[in-house]
Amino acid sequence: MELAAPETSTPSHEPTSSDDPALSHEPTLARVLQERLFRDATITGDGARDRVVTWCLPWQQALSGEEDLDGVLVYARESDVEADQLAELRARRPVALVVAGGEPGTAQADRADAEAMPIITVGAHTDFRQVGRLVAELVLAHEAHVMRYGVRVHQALAELSYRGAGISALCHQMSRLSQCAVAVLDSDYQVLEFAQAGSVGESSTPSGEVLTARTMRELLRDDPPDLLDRALDGGRGPIVGAVEIAGNPFTCVVGAIVLGGRHDGWVVLVEPAARPHPHDVAQHRVVVEQAITIVGTEMLRMRSISEAEERARGDFVHALLHGRFATEADLAARAEHYRFPTGSDYAVIVAGGFRAASGGEPGNAVPNAVRDVARTSPPGTQTLAAAVGDVLAVVYRFDRPKRTTPDAANRFVADYARTLEQDLVRKLGVPVQVAYGRPVSGAVRITDSYREARIALGLRQQLGLDSVCGFHELRVFAALSELAGSPVGKGFADELLAPLREESTGGSDLERAVVTYIECGGNVNAAARALHIHRNTMLYKLERASRALRLNLREAEHQFALWLACKLELLANTTATVDRELRPT
């Protein structure tokens, strides 16, 4: 089955029947003039005859409006045509004016505008009904022909979509129908699928270089053609344009995939000829037009499946992190589904700071990071990632070499954590903070590593540490972790710090001065500079703190006691926050 072209080549001078679908070219002016009704017509003016004719209007109705008459053939009787009205009509750009009756001559030629509006003189017996019916028949024949081909293409693609064959099969089917290379791109200009033309119509450059997915990716990576953006902005179906690939000209038919107001990518059909036949271009337009909705629907279906799988995988990761498996058998059964061994060595790495970096809600940063981490794992390892609120949690499985010390295992995890932080910063474009827990053996103990990783992340954020840190690196906090949560540790911290926080003694301002003084090693001048206050003011604050505490802050033992109380409180608060998430009441 053939299809009419969007542009008409030089028309044959032989009259043809409009009932022959094989010859039903798009009804241009040249095509209309081939009909028997205009066989004896006289044409004045050399205006463009490749303009498309879509409708016919009588003279009075055409003059009554103000809209553009592009695509309209105007019919008039010789007695109706006035010179001033003719100039007004010409300004509205009709395809041509058909004048019935009268003899063509110099006066008629003077009326014609060679570039804007040819005048076609026919016999007085030719009425508007005949001309209007002819135009309508030609337009309907063309539309029906296009529709028949569109139904054929739609059926071929819809059958594959109904069977769930996937985008790759749809791409190859489009290539077989068009005998051209076809690519499906996502909204980020990435090639999702590429199908080369068959052996009959292989798409190759004049130099013999075959067009491949690699050349398409290089083109999109270096400088995506503006044809893609114009197809998206146009909103009027596929567009045709010339694109240079590997130094050779190609003709591309591009359609933007937009469903429900969401842009998911493009369908690109690459015709190897720099100036293809208009009939071929028309066929390619129909193929792309029909494919847009079907490929978009398939992308939606695959995205729904992928999101469902991600949610199920995320539930499994959450269960690992929070220890929600009833038995080890339950854990083993779920892990087998994801091909996740339960007897290896594991460590949990967490990344935070997305909210602060984005200036508000983390948005899609964490989900995007989950997908990126899931797709990339070092050789010989396996990762599972999930979003826990605004924190990214990664379960990192690795094979610990025999006779490996705990420090060596920690370094192994630290290397991956640093690489992960660098990748996240590069891909997301925002600074993130990464911390990790100590390695554990057995999947049932993953929750212990996760708890340590969250504590390490909280401490890193509180202390303002610049680099990746592990729980084992915070040696003081690791040693104090049990004491911080005990009644003894909490009582010790409250007893020492409470006097500094009373309103009568100055509140948090006094506490900050004491903590800064201790962190500066008891150096009054350094503490004053850190707080941007005068040295005498610093001495006054320390004197007030000493009276409130009934301790001499110049003694190292008392400084250590206050430092220990601050660390215990910080660790207790961080641990309590993590435990509330791990063990909600």
CATH of residue 56's domain is 3.40.1390.20
215 Cβ neighbours under 8 A, 6+ residues apart: 209, 245, 246
**Confidence check: pLDDT of 199 > 70:** no
163-172, 243-252, 501-510: which is most confident: 163-172
Listed residues 419, 444, 473: the one ending a domain: 473
Please compute the mean of the pLDDT values over residues 96-122 and round it to a whole number.
Answer: 68
8 A C-beta contact, residue 560 and residue 551: no
CA-based nearest residue to 238, from 198, 195, 200, 295: 295
Residues 298, 384 within the same domain: no
Q: What is the DSSP letter of 349?
A: E
| Number of compact structural domains in the chain | 4
Residues 498, 569 within the same domain: yes
8 A C-beta contact, residue 384 and residue 338: yes
Residues 243, 350 within the same domain: no
Residue 103: inside a domain, yes or no?
A: yes
pLDDT on residue 503: 58
CATH of residue 332's domain is 3.30.70.270
Residues 392, 431 within the same domain: yes
Rg (CA), the chain: 39
Residues 344, 459 within the same domain: yes
Please compute the mean of the pLDDT values over residues 92-120 and round it to a whole number.
Answer: 69
Query: Which pLDDT band, with edges at 50, 70 and 90, does 109 fall under?
Result: very low
Give how far Cα 402 sits from Cα of 212, 348, 408, 409, 472, Å.
46, 21, 11, 11, 21
Residues 437, 493 within the same domain: no
164 Cβ neighbours under 8 A, 6+ residues apart: 301
For residues 48 and 333, what is the distance between their CA atoms, to the nearest angstrom? 74
Residues 281, 206 within the same domain: yes
> Bridge-partner residues for 575, per DSSP?
none
Residue 463: inside a domain, yes or no?
A: yes
Range of the domain at 72: 21-143
CA-based nearest residue to 231, from 279, 190, 182, 285: 285
CATH of residue 490's domain is 1.10.10.2840
Compute the residue count for the chain.
Answer: 585
3-state DSSP call for residue 551? coil
Residue 5: inside a domain, yes or no?
A: no
Residues 511, 456 within the same domain: no
pLDDT tens per residue across span 500-534? 777 565 667 788 888 888 888 888 888 888 888 88
pLDDT on residue 309: 85
Residue 437: inside a domain, yes or no?
A: yes
Residue 389: inside a domain, yes or no?
A: yes
Residues 241, 299 within the same domain: yes
Query: Which pLDDT band, with edges at 50, 70 and 90, does 43 fall under?
Result: confident
**CA-based diameter of the chain, in Å?**
122
**Confidence check: pLDDT of 21 > 50:** no
pLDDT tens per residue across span 445-487? 999 999 889 988 988 888 788 889 888 887 777 777 777 777 8
Please compute the mean of the pLDDT values over residues 428-450 and round it to a whole number.
Answer: 89
8 A C-beta contact, residue 25 and residue 8: yes
Q: Which residue has the higher pLDDT, 108 or 419?
A: 419
Q: Which residue has the higher pLDDT, 288 or 1?
A: 288
Residue 15: inside a domain, yes or no?
A: no
**Confidence check: pLDDT of 305 > 70:** yes
pTM of the model: 0.59
Residue 2: inside a domain, yes or no?
A: no
Residue 151: inside a domain, yes or no?
A: no
CATH of residue 255's domain is 3.30.450.40
Q: Output the CA torsion 196→198→203→207 (10° steps).
A: 110
By mean pLDDT, which of 45-54, 428-437, 454-463 is the weakest?
45-54
For residues 155 and 158, what is the distance between their CA atoms, to the nearest angstrom? 5
